[in-house]
Structure 1
Amino acid sequence: MTDFIYLASQSPRRRQLLQQLSVDCQLLLPDAAEDSEALEVVLSGESPTAYVQRVTQLKLDAAVARLKNRGLPPAPVLCSDTTVALGRCIYGKPADETDAARMLGELAGTTHRVLTAVAVQSGRKRLQALSVSRVTFTPMTPAQIRAYVASGEPMGKAGAYAVQGRAAMFIRHISGSYSGIMGLPLHETGGLLRAAGLKI
């Protein structure tokens, strides 16, 4: 029974969300030699659900190997991945400001899905869960999109927005898990961590 977990994520939001559960986590981040972005390439014809689950499993495989290679003390390892989907179209992190503006223009005035997969490895046991939420954006003018992109907030975010940030003023309705949209669904994550042996 451990009293901490390894979090294989660079997202400060996921760390904050785990703190809400009073879970002590140590970061288990990739080495400079690891090409973590390569794990996020979408396969031809891949559905958003299959994509987010596959990427999360690949991230967990890499993190477990990292733990072993570094000779760190054993503890559960948590990985998560979030993607935004409109129909079967997957919206990952924008490549640049132009890409962010394109994504926001396509999502504006629609209801899209936010899928977050979570996976935990504890010893030989691997547990996983999927959270699917729906977010409805109001229509956005080109000027509003430009101003939001200029804020810098969309960069590094799936779908080019942060639900907990300035984008909230364009969100008319949410159905599902707010924490899942942020990047770590706490209901599902709590269940996985309890199953992995944490007392939370």
Structure 2
Amino acid sequence: MSEPLESTAILGPLILASGSPRRAQWLEALRIPFQKQAPDVDETPLLDEPASDMVLRLSELKAEVVSRQNPGRWVLAADTTVALDEHVLGKPESVDDAVRMLMLLQGRVHQVHTGLCLRRDGEVHSFVDTAEVRFRPLTESQARWYAGTGEPMDKAGAYAIQGIGALFVANVQGSFATVMGLPVERLSERLERLGLLGLWLGIPRG
């Protein structure tokens, strides 16, 4: 039997190029060994840049920055945004801004785009996954109450579907994990195709 080209020791754990606790929680749940290294990149959207293009560009940029600092290691980066009619809704700058965003979303369907990039040196695998989320109708007083909890303040689109914000979601079409910032279904498929699940977890290749 031939020896494998790489071992877990040589491969090293995955490097998560993100400071997001939710993405780290997903990897912990999947038992994928990883280290965190949040990149410092300019996340300003380009002029007239579509939301899906923006998250792909930023995920690739984050992966590139961290990969340069860690030659030979696999790096995972992601970027998520909320879009309504192709208008990007970033993180609110104030409570009033959060209320404004929530009132835009209430009673309507919006898109959540997550760009993901796996990179090792010059080898790059990237894609965008999109889910559609329908909000229940909200009153301004309900939106202001939610904004006052503080939960929306560091979230794209001013809500957290894994928290109190779930109370305002009518339904989701697509991956719930994508809305949370890491499309684990497509990620696991890509990791298996690259043979990384076997190396990190001992799962036989299909």
- With the length of structure 2 as denominator, give the TM-score of the two structures: 0.86
CA-to-partner distance for each residue in 1:138-172, whole Å, 9 max, x for gaps?
Answer: 11111111111111111211111111100111101
Which of 124, 127, 130 is residue 128 of structure 2 equivalent to? Answer: 130
Q: Which amino acid aligns with 1:154?
A: P
SS where residue 155 of structure 1 aligns? helix
Aligned to 2:49: 46
Residue 57 of structure 1, CA deviation: 1.3
CA RMSD of the aligned region, Å?
Answer: 1.5
Aligned to 2:23: 14
Which of 1 and 2 has higher RCO (CA within 8 Å, sep 6+)?
1
Q: Which amino acid aligns with 2:57?
A: R
Q: Does 1:158 align with 2:156?
A: yes
Aligned positions, number: 189
> 1:56·1:80 contact (CA, 8 Å) conserved in 2?
yes
Q: For residues 109-188 of structure 1, what are the structure 2 equivalents within 5 Å? A: 109-188=107-186
SS where residue 143 of structure 2 aligns? helix
Q: Which amino acid aligns with 1:67?
A: N
Q: Which amino acid aligns with 2:17?
A: A
Q: Does 1:27 align with 2:25?
A: no
Unaligned runs of 5+ in 1: 69-73
Q: Which amino acid aligns with 1:7?
A: L
Give, in whole Å, the separation in 2 of the partners of 1:177 and 1:7: 20
Unaligned runs of 5+ in 2: 1-5, 202-206
Q: Which amino acid aligns with 1:47?
A: P
Residue 67 of structure 1, CA deviation: 2.5
> 2:161·2:180 contact (CA, 8 Å) conserved in 1?
yes
Give, in whole Å, the separation in 2 of the partners of 1:16 and 1:91: 24
> 1:28·1:67 contact (CA, 8 Å) conserved in 2?
no
> 1:101·1:146 contact (CA, 8 Å) conserved in 2?
yes
Residue 24 of structure 1, CA deviation: 0.9
| Alpha carbons of structure 1 residues 66 and 123: separation in structure 2 relative to 1, 3 Å | closer
Q: Percent identity?
A: 37
Identify the range of structure 1 (56-65 vs 128-137) with the bigger mean alpha-carbon deviation. Answer: 56-65
Bigger radius of gyration: 2
SS where residue 41 of structure 1 aligns? coil
Give, in whole Å, the separation in 1 of the partners of 2:54 and 2:122: 24
Residue 48 of structure 1, CA deviation: 1.0
Give, in whole Å, the separation in 1 of the partners of 2:96 and 2:69: 35
> 1:5·1:25 contact (CA, 8 Å) conserved in 2?
yes
Give, in whole Å, the separation in 1 of the partners of 2:127 and 2:48: 22
Aligned to 1:5: 14
Give, in whole Å, the separation in 1 of the partners of 2:145 and 2:115: 31
Aligned to 2:74: 76
Aligned to 1:64: 67
Q: For residues 88-107 of structure 1, what are the structure 2 equivalents within 5 Å? A: 88-107=86-105
- Which runs of structure 1 show a deviation greater than 3 angstroms over 4 or more consecutive aligned residues? none
Give, in whole Å, the separation in 2 of the partners of 1:153 and 1:192: 32
